[in-house]
Amino acid sequence: MTDVRPSADGVLHTLFGSEQGGHEQVVLCQDRETGLKAVIAIHSTALGPALGGTRFYPYASEEEAVRDALNLSRGMSYKNALAGLDHGGGKAVIIGDPDLIKSEQLLMAYGRFVASLGGLYVTACDVGTYVQDMDVVARESRWTTGRSPEQGGAGDSSVLTAFGVFQGMRAAAQTQWGEPTLRGRRVGVAGVGKVGHYLVEHLVEDGAEVVITDVRAEAVQRIIARHPQVTAVSDADVLVRTPLDVYAPCALGGALDDATVAALTATVVCGAANNQLAHPGVEKDLADRGILYAPDYVVNAGGVIQVADELHGFDFDRAKAKATTIFDTTLAIFDRAKADGIPPAVAADRIAEQRMAEARQRTAEARAVAASTAATDVTVAAEAALVAER
């Protein structure tokens, strides 16, 4: 029998042969009539149905799209676990430029693929998809969140995403300076779009001095017009070199690379962007420099808490109360990191992995009990049949 092994640099290696893999299911979706090409990756259902957004993006290759779906879905498993949700991790990507190929028919075709999984995967918004898109997807799949309030949904999840980041930042301030407030602290926010502009509102209200940057001039002007006391710099490179107490990456992933970490003046990093660490080892570099890093997937979980609540009949106050617990979760991670002598990112991973492992153990035990009960029932039925024959 031929031993088939995935190549060491391909997506199949990531899926089957690396510690970054371990996914339960990956579905390739294609609808030629609408031009849909999508990947749905389910990393784990240990805690419940996989929950994660749909990213619509013009990937350079299909392999890049699959790899992104694998990475993002794995991150959702950890995020949902630490958010205390009864959901595993999943993510979907639609390949293509949404400005060119997105259509109602394409989104409905995608919804049919989500529906075909029978609830194993629950979708929501992500980069390139919006509330109105989820309303369309929901016509074909009831396992859709992030819908408009008019359709019974939670609406814009950026609201609680920013609120959760602010709670994580308060926890970092408590750990670093002894008080859970940013009052009098200088906070640099890189990216003031969907989430960042809400975060600025919280910071201004708390009495922080805020410095911002964004690649879009209109996003910066919107903030300055509302809050003239906020200052702006030309780009993220300038921002990280500006004297800061807190740096908040709220734009693209990979924001914390070697050059950025070396240049940082802030002693706390806490932001909304996903996958902030550019490569393994950056978390140790931050710790070695005395910079307290609040793991991104912990503090930005307010959005997934919001859309998860939608499955139970959305109640904003209930969802906000749960997002408030991000403060306590972040503090617990910092305490675990200090006790174990490890970076907070490693501590967060260990706590999430422990919760998923415990859930898998409970499932295995329940299955064993069910199998034992079924075997006993069969034995009793057989004995009863013999007695009846006599």
Catalytic residues: 91
CA gap 306, 322 in Å, rounded: 9
Residue 192 in marked binding region: yes
Cα–Cα distance list, 181 to 166, 188, 207, 321 (Å): 10, 15, 8, 19
Instruction: Reduce the DSSP state of residue 255 to 3 states and report it.
Output: coil
CA gap 196, 249 in Å, rounded: 9
Q: For residue 320, give both structure tokens.
A: 């906000």
Question: What DSSP string runs through 218-246?
Answer: HHHHHHHHH-TT-EE-SSHHHHHHS--SE
Residue 194 in marked binding region: yes
Give the closest residue to 119 by CA, choosing from 149, 88, 148, 93.
88
CA gap 375, 367 in Å, rounded: 12
Cα–Cα distance list, 157 to 10, 94, 168, 256 (Å): 34, 20, 17, 24
Task: Give the other-Cβ count within 10 Å of 248's Cβ.
Answer: 33
Residue 191 in marked binding region: yes
Residue 188 in marked binding region: no
CA gap 126, 68 in Å, rounded: 13
R_g (Cα) of the chain, nearest Å: 23
Residue with tokens 């259902």: 45
Residue 195 in marked binding region: yes
Cα–Cα distance list, 83 to 86, 161, 208 (Å): 9, 12, 26
Regarding beta strands 25-31 and 36-44, do their DSSP bridges make them parallel or antiparallel, or are they unpaired? Answer: antiparallel
* 316-317-321-327 Cα dihedral, nearest 10 degrees: 70
Does residue 73 contact residue 52 with C-beta atoms inside 8 Å? yes
- Classify residue 149 by its DSSP letter: G
Residue 369 in marked binding region: no
Question: What DSSP string runs through 287-313?
Answer: HHTT-EE--HHHHTTHHHHHHHHHTT-
Would you list which residues are annotated within the binding site for NAD(+)?
A: 191-196
Would you list which residues are annotated within the binding site?
A: 191-196
